């Protein structure tokens, strides 16, 4: 049984599996280079963040209707529920949909309906975080936030994603100040391809409460100290880092070093349709490849609840479930050991 956990770094557009991609493209009478699922999946090999983003934005362009967004989010939430996810804080990229001619109201209503239905049917707690595309710059981000304010009750925070290099967090100072004034939570991708200076800027200039990826923070000891002392969460995505070649192999991943430094790290899937696994597969992969035992995996699950934006009462409830799951596992392991000796 997967451990109860929260998923905090997940782009809903990155959950578009080739099967659903083809279904939606056909329904909307849009063409792709091929309609063959295996051929589409064979394209999912990347050299870096940009080669991934090129394919991701091409595929995102099939999403046009409320039903498309509903089906996309509903499929993710079903998978997440099966993976033990109790809480999901989900990124979406509205600027890309607007560029494709899809009104914000269509995106919001499709996603919000799927979240509400999953809450009712599966008891999963989920909220949306609106991401700004950093390569479109600070003014476009301000326009985006302004356009999104009529939907303020349908998202809990803002994030920053897309091409990182050359687009430092400092470009987004004003839009993050606007978001803070609206009581929106603030997170930002930083330190995936960019250096520790991007993480510093996200903290000091944007007031980011959580850093997405942040793997390159380890290169700066004083930054590590700051992250540790302030218990700033880092949402690490191990399979993503391998797929986009931020690390050569999973065995080389810095996650153990980050844990040794006492950082509040969590494990997440990022764009699971593209990177070879949903959140439980990320947990299994780090367990197998980094030699993490049940105690470390439970720590990572506990961290995910500490790092999430749910209420203290909700977090206490999930932590209690987690403790029960861990003691059940321990009891089973002891029983198996007893039978074998
Ligand atoms: N990094 C940056 N931007 C993104 C990603 C990512 O992994 N996925 C979707 N947009
Ligand atoms: Zn991401």
Question: 3-state SS of 70-100?
Answer: HHHHHHHHHHHHHCCEEEEEEEECHHHHHHC
Ligand 2: distance of its center to the CA of 9 in Å?
A: 6
Per-residue pLDDT tens digits for 315-330: 999 999 999 999 998 8
Per-residue pLDDT at 337 exceeds 90: no
Annotation says 313 is catalytic: no
The residue annotated as part of the active site, out of 66, 89, 164, 192, is 192
Per-residue pLDDT tens digits for 21-76: 999 999 999 999 999 999 999 999 999 999 999 999 999 999 999 999 999 999 99
Alpha-carbon 201 to chain mean position: 20
Cα-Cα-Cα-Cα dihedral of 142, 167, 303, 319, to 10°? 20
Ligand 2: distance of its center to the CA of 324 in Å?
A: 31
Question: Does ligand 1 have an atom closer than 6 angstroms to the CB of 202?
Answer: no
Helix (H, G, I), strand (E, B) or coil at 28: coil
Picking from 187, 266, 264, 261, the residue whose alpha carbon sits closest to that of residue 225 is: 261
Mutate to test the pocket of ligand 1, among 7, 12, 13, 14 (most ligand atoms within 8 A of CB): 14
Measured CA to CA, the distance from residue 18 to residue 24 in angstroms comes to: 10
Question: Does ligand 1 have an atom closer than 6 angstroms to the CB of 240?
Answer: yes
**pTM higher than 0.75 for the full model?**
yes
Q: Which atom of ligand 1 is nearest to the CA of 162?
A: 3
Going from the C-alpha of 11 to that of each of 15, 92, 161, the distances in angstroms are 7, 6, 9
**What ligand is nearest to the CA atom of residue 213?**
2
| The pair of three-digit structure tokens given for residue 251, joined into one six-digit string | 């065995």
Domains annotated for the chain, with CATH where assigned, are: 5-340 (3.20.20.140)
């Amino acid at each position: 049984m997967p451990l109860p956990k929260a998923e905090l770094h997940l782009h809903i557009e990155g959950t578009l599996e080739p099967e659903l991609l083809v279904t939606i493209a056909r329904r909307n009478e849009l063409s792709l280079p091929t309609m063959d699922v295996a051929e589409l999946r064979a394209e999912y090999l990347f050299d870096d963040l940009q080669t991934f983003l090129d394919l991701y934005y091409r595929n995102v362009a099939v999403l046009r209707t409320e039903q498309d967004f509903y089906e996309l989010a509903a499929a993710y939430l079903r998978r997440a529920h099966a993976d033990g996810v109790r809480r999901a804080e989900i990124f979406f990229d509205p600027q890309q949909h607007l560029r494709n001619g899809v009104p914000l109201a269509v995106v919001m209503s499709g996603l919000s309906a799927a979240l509400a239905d999953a809450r009712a049917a599966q008891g999963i707690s989920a909220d949306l975080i609106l991401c700004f595309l950093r390569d479109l710059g600070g003014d476009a981000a301000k326009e985006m936030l302004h356009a999104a304010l009529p939907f303020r009750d349908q998202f809990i925070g803002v994030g920053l994603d897309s091409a990182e290099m050359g687009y430092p967090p400092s470009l987004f100072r004003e839009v993050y100040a606007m978001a803070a004034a609206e009581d929106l939570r603030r997170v930002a991708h930083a330190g995936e391809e960019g250096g520790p200076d991007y993480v510093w800027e996200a903290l000091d200039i944007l007031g980011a409460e959580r850093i997405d990826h942040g793997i390159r923070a380890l290169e700066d000891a004083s930054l590590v100290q700051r992250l540790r002392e302030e218990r700033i969460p880092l949402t690490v995505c191990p399979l993503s880092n391998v797929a986009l070649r931020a690390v050569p192999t999973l065995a080389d991943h810095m996650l153990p070093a980050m844990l040794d430094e006492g950082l509040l790290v969590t494990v997440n899937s990022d764009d699971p349709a593209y990177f070879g696994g949903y959140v439980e597969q990320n947990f299994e992969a780090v367990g197998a490849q980094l030699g993490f035992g049940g105690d470390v995996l439970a720590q990572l699950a506990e961290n995910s609840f500490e790092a999430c934006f749910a209420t203290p009462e909700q977090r206490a409830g999930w932590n209690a479930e987690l403790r029960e799951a861990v003691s059940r596992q321990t009891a089973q392991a002891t029983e198996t050991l007893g039978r074998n000796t």
